[in-house]
Amino acid sequence: MKKITMISSSTLFHLLLLFSLFFSWFPNAKPQEIEDEKEFSYIPGSPNGPERWGELHPEWEKCSNGMMQSPIDLTYQRVRLDPSLGMLNRNYKATNATLKNRGHDIMLEWVGDAGFLSIKGTVYFLKQVHWHSPSEHAINGIRYALEAHMVHQSQDLKIAVIGIIYTIGSPDQFLKKLENNIRQLTNTGVLQVNAGVVDPKHVRIEGNQYYRYMGSLTTPPCSENVTWTIIKKIKTVSQEQVDLLREAVHDDAMNNARPLQPINDRYIKLYKSFSSKLEAM
């Protein structure tokens, strides 16, 4: 009987271990961002504005005292060329998605497996994309009209974000496909709508050049050790599309971009492929 009991305990242990490994691998684990953003605001000087985020909850203290915070100014004095970064290794695929009003931004969340981004052997699964206006990151002191964040998460909960910056011009074709869904959020007041099957490859990334640095989430809890990739080439978006994204959230704020954070002793890496160098000549 003792032998049977020992075998049962061992089997139970291994089953629990197996389930634990399964759920840690499962790519639908939630990113470490706040889903309900009503507890903080982007209004300067308000009790829950950006200057006070770190005081609102103990677990948000990095917003006040973190040394690797985002966003930053991608100033050329801190940029170092690094060919070893290599071209972005992405493998995205179409799957069902839900469009959500999180309180201060509009987020498109993929429900199924939307593919991945690979950085130095670590696989980061694509979870969602959301938008900030004006752009959160600046390039040589200039903040542009809009910034999209494609949020990825690894099986050990590390986060990698691809940032795409936009200036006012021709409409963005990816947003154009979502406009009716965004208007549905605006007009009905519902917090989420089914967006159907959405292909993340349609969030076009133009050019091979990008910036890379280590930073944080730009919303509470402002967790650090986030791998940031900011695409160097600026895309275009219409003013109407920027306005549509802001009007949909009904938060009475003029923008939803966090103030620039100190770069401290960080340097920014820049990847340029050989073809990119030829184009620049």
- Residues of the domain holding 241: 68-280
Domain membership of residue 46 (yes or no) is no
Identify the CATH number of the domain in which residue 225 sits.
3.10.200.10
Q: How far is CA 200 from CA 49, 117, 151, 223, 281, in A?
A: 32, 12, 12, 25, 32
Residue 81 has pLDDT above 90, yes or no: yes
Domain membership of residue 140 (yes or no) is yes
Interstrand relation of 138-139 and 192-198 (parallel, antiparallel or unpaired): unpaired
Domain membership of residue 26 (yes or no) is no
Domain membership of residue 228 (yes or no) is yes
At 135 the three-state DSSP class reads coil
| Predicted pLDDT at 276 | 47
* 135-185 per-position pLDDT tens digit: 999 999 999 999 999 999 999 999 999 999 999 999 999 999 999 999 999
Domain membership of residue 153 (yes or no) is yes
| Predicted pLDDT at 251 | 72
Domain membership of residue 3 (yes or no) is no
Instruction: Let me know how long the chain is.
Output: 281
* 245-280 per-position pLDDT tens digit: 999 887 777 899 999 999 999 999 999 976 544 344
Greatest CA separation found in the chain? Answer: 80
- Beta bridge partners, 168, equal 237
| Count of structural domains, the chain | 1
Domain membership of residue 39 (yes or no) is no
CB distance 75 to 143 below 8 Å: no
Name the CA radius of gyration of the chain, rounded.
21
Q: Which of these is catalytic: 104, 132, 149, 152?
A: 104
Span of 29-33, 136-140, 222-226 with lowest mean pLDDT: 29-33
Domain membership of residue 14 (yes or no) is no
* 180-215 per-position pLDDT tens digit: 999 999 888 899 999 999 999 999 998 899 999 999
**Residue 104 a catalytic site member:** yes
